[in-house]
Structure 1
Amino acid sequence: MTVQLYTAPSNASSRKAREWLINHNIPFKERNIIARPLTPDEVKRLLRLTENGFEDIISTRAKVFKQLHLNLDDISTSQLIQLVSKHLDLLKRPIMFDDKRLQVGYNNEEIRRFLPRSTRKLEMMKVWQQLAI
């Protein structure tokens, strides 16, 4: 299964995520979302993978969020989808996902969920062996 990686070239976390995927031989397709913006349908697909909706993918610290004076509670889903499609700086980065999992931002522990189950088991066995020594 190929991981989709949405990045921005100037984002350090995006570079870390790309490097981690390469180092762990995880097949991925990278997309610079600044050069190739997301469509409203692609934003909806991301939303379906979230646990908390827009709260999971919108950067409330982004300059554009503040400039637009947004309040996530006061705006409709369709309006937010259109805003995200027009202002991609609203999205946290990187965004990694496959058919079942979504990770927003780079977290060294959480990114491991993209490792194949067999690899995760082997890594856990190594940890337990080291603890037993």
Structure 2
Amino acid sequence: MTVMMYWYPKCGSCQKAKKWFEAHNVALEAVHIVENPPSKELLKDFYEKSGLELKKFFNTSGIKYRELGIKDKVKTATEDELLELLASDGMLIKRPIITDGKRITVGFNEEQFEKAWL
């Protein structure tokens, strides 16, 4: 499967990730996370395959995260409610999310990228 990158073009971490993939000659298919946010089902698949806590999928530095008081909601909401919330707005999702259908990385971490994508 193609390596897919769910990103927001103005995001610094997303730009760094894109440059990293270009420098390592890894072809990417980029998906604008705000214009085409991943569905609840797709987010659930990412979450299950990533091995990360669901709260790691939230863009905790985002304005909407703070405006909606999600920090408190994460503590008591069900997995289904959190996935619904994430799927409702691409700006709530930590980015970039990169996947080839088997592996998933969330955010940009060069060391993590070297292990996962080279």
Q: TM-score, normalised by structure 1?
A: 0.77
Identical aligned pairs, as a percentage?
A: 27
| 2:84 maps to which of 82, 85, 93 | 82
- The equivalent residue for 2:31 is 31
Q: What do residues 8-48 of structure 1 show as CA deviations (whole Å, max 9, x unaligned)? A: 01101111111111221112211111111211111111111
**Structure 1 stretches lacking a partner, 5+ long:** 116-133
SS of residue paired to 2:20: helix
- The equivalent residue for 2:44 is 44
Q: TM-score, normalised by structure 2?
A: 0.86
The answer as to 2:111 corresponding to 1:109 is yes
SS of residue paired to 2:110: coil
The structure that has the greater radius of gyration is 1
Q: CA shift at 1:64, angstroms?
A: 1.3
Moved more, 27-36 or 48-57: 48-57
For the aligned residue pairs, the C-alpha RMSD in angstroms reads: 1.6
Task: Say which structure, 1 or 2, has more relative contact order (CA 8 Å, 6+ apart).
Answer: 2
Letter in 1 for 2:52: N
SS of residue paired to 1:109: helix
- Aligned runs of 1:82-101 on 2, under 5 Å? 82-101=84-103
Asked if 2 retains the 8 angstrom alpha-carbon contact of 1:2 and 1:26, the reply is: no
- The equivalent residue for 2:58 is 58
**Structure 2 stretches lacking a partner, 5+ long:** none
